[in-house]
Structure 1
Amino acid sequence: MPEPRRSARALARRWWPLAVAVPLGAVAGAGYAAVSHPSYAASSYVVVVPNTPGENSTAVNFAQAYGRLTGQPQVLIGAAAETGHTVAVLSGLVRGTTSPDAPMIEITGTGARGGEAVRNADAVAKSLIAFGNASSKETGVRLVPLAPAAEPDAPASPSAALDTGVGAAAGVLLGTLAMLTRRKDGPAVRAELPAQPAPEPAAQAGPKAEQRAEQRVERQAEQQPVAAR
């Protein structure tokens, strides 16, 4: 068999789990993107303004606090009737994010249609403003709408490119695990050890031979004076 063909077969036997898993993962990701329902996202913006000029750090701190309250029932209860969702359902459709440097709150609403996403974001923003301004005298800040949500042109998810890439990455992981499992379960290949040189006769004799030699020398030393007499 020619050497290139033998090398190709060896590579195929070693790497076939990875070669099969990656395309299958990519196809699975693309299939998920094709059959999943689209989800739209729209964002509404609210700014926290201090009642006393110059207290920007206070406004930033309150913006972060109000941003964490965006998904809480005390805020969502005012927007539930306008959106037509229960408080529990609406809490999964909106989220609030803040900036550590600016007193701004971004309220992102999601929905099966672009108009629904806009309605969810604007309703929660309006409810948050009412909730925060009810205690404006105590907090020293007030909430002001900055920009309403705009209807998106395309769904935020699914993304065919992203889902295909995620599926291919999952295929790489599964294929690698399969290769490691096959290598672990396969027969162990032991390298042949070099032949050890045969021990010399003196080394084979060991300590006993050395003791006998010493005893013989001692007897010879004891007999020499007797012979001299």
Structure 2
Amino acid sequence: MTDTPPRQRRLSLARLRGLPLWSVLAAGTLAGGLLGGAYGLLTPSTYTATSYVIAVPTGKSTPDAALGFAQAYGRVATQLAVLGDAQVYAGVPVHTLQRSVRSATSPDAPMVAVSATSSRPGLAVDMANAVTRALTRHADDSRGNTNVRLVQFSRAVEPSEPTSASPAVTGLVGASAGGLLGGLALLARPRKAGQDDEPAPAPSVPGPAAAADARGQR
């Protein structure tokens, strides 16, 4: 005859109550570290390359205008109009560029940074340079209206180290998360019988009137 689910649950809770406190933390930390390290080993390394362009005002414009257009070009860099041209230079489809390319600007300098991420360092370089090339071309087409042109400030170079986390780092993160979950499990751990009982009230000390009545009865 098999155990009923309630009995199996009671047996599981009894085993959990019998475990030492440190074993739950140790098990959580170890399991988290192993899972985190395995994730770092099985996940391919990724590399990031970044190229920069700078907005330069023409004779009919001002530095403030160049700064404003740099912010605008930073938003345009990842739009389909630019990526559609960049795919020809990079040799990858548009959806790959949409997934891999990011742009950033500075509030103080008229500069646009274009970063591309890939599991292949050379492809990351090609994508970053392709997007800045296409962006510069679009800026040149509208220079007559904006009076601002984009100039290549720094081409992307092949990264020597991956930007993704190493297995050691993911293992440490996993171990920390496992230890935290183990601590939460200890907080939710069933307590032994009698631990939840309310303490007995302290005996009351008789006041002066009660003491006088007691003497009168004697």
Q: Which residue does the alignment assign to 1:145?
A: 152
Q: Is the 8 A contact 1:36 1:158 kept in 2?
A: no
Aligned to 2:54: 47
- In angstroms, what is the RMSD of aligned CA positions? 2.5
The aligned amino acid for 2:157 is A
Cα deviations by residue, 1:149-180 (Å, 9 ceiling, x for unpaired): 11111222242333123212321331122112
Match of 1:104 among 108, 111, 116: 111
Candidates 43, 62, 75, aligned match of 1:68? 75
After superposition, residues 21-100 of structure 1 pair within 5 angstroms as 21-52=28-59, 55-100=62-107
Which letter does structure 2 place at the counterpart of 1:28? L
Q: Residue 124 of structure 2: SS of its match in structure 1?
A: helix
Contact 2:61 2:147 in 1 (8 A): no
Mean Cα deviation higher: 138-147 or 185-194: 185-194
Q: Is 1:14–2:45 an aligned residue pair?
A: no
- Which of structure 1's runs of 4+ aligned residues deviate more than 6 A? none
**Rg larger for:** 1
| Greater length-normalized contact order (CA 8 Å, ≥ 6 residues apart) | 2
Q: Which has the higher helix share?
A: 1
Instruction: Name the aligned partner's letter for residue 160 of structure 1.
Output: P
The share of aligned pairs that are identical, in percent, is 40
The runs of 5 or more residues in structure 2 that have no matched partner are 1-16, 211-218
Question: For residues 173 and 68 of structure 1, what CA distance do their matches in structure 2 show?
Answer: 40
Contact 2:61/2:148 (<8 A) preserved:
no
Residue number in structure 2 paired with 1:167: 174
Q: CA–CA distance in 2 between the matches of 1:176 and 1:50?
A: 59
Structure 2 distance, partners of 1:100, 1:106, is: 12
The TM-score, its normalising length taken from structure 2, stands at 0.78
Gaps of 5+ in 1: 1-9, 204-229
